[in-house]
Amino acid sequence: MGIERARGWAVCLAVVAGFCTGLFVWQSGAGPGLRGGFEGERDWSLLFVEGPLMVFGIPALALAAWALVGGALRAPDWVAAVVVVLLLAGVGWGSMEWLEVRTEPFTKRYGW
């Protein structure tokens, strides 16, 4: 009973870590596009598309990775945890790169 409870808490921790990663990446990456660029121009798709996609998609990926590695492949829990951490690092980096490209018009200063 104790091992199953610990496994359940580990899965919950993986999902919470995915949620925090998605929220942090979205908040730090989408800020320039939401604050506005030239003449207050804003990109609202950062709020309505990329926001929910990162905040809910990254935890779903973490849960799917844990289920695949821990359940389908029957690997030990520590292997599933390492896979989730590596997945969160990779997806966080990729999302930051994506948002950097999306918000480039708001951060570039043209002219003098």
pLDDT, tens only, 10-20: 889 999 999 99
pTM listed for this prediction? 0.84
Of 102, 106, 105, nearest in space to 50 by CA:
102
Q: Tell me the per-residue pLDDT of 49-102, one tens digit each, with 9 for 90 and over.
A: 999 999 999 999 999 999 999 888 888 989 999 999 999 999 999 999 999 988
SS3 9: helix
Confidence at 1, pLDDT banded by 50, 70, 90: low
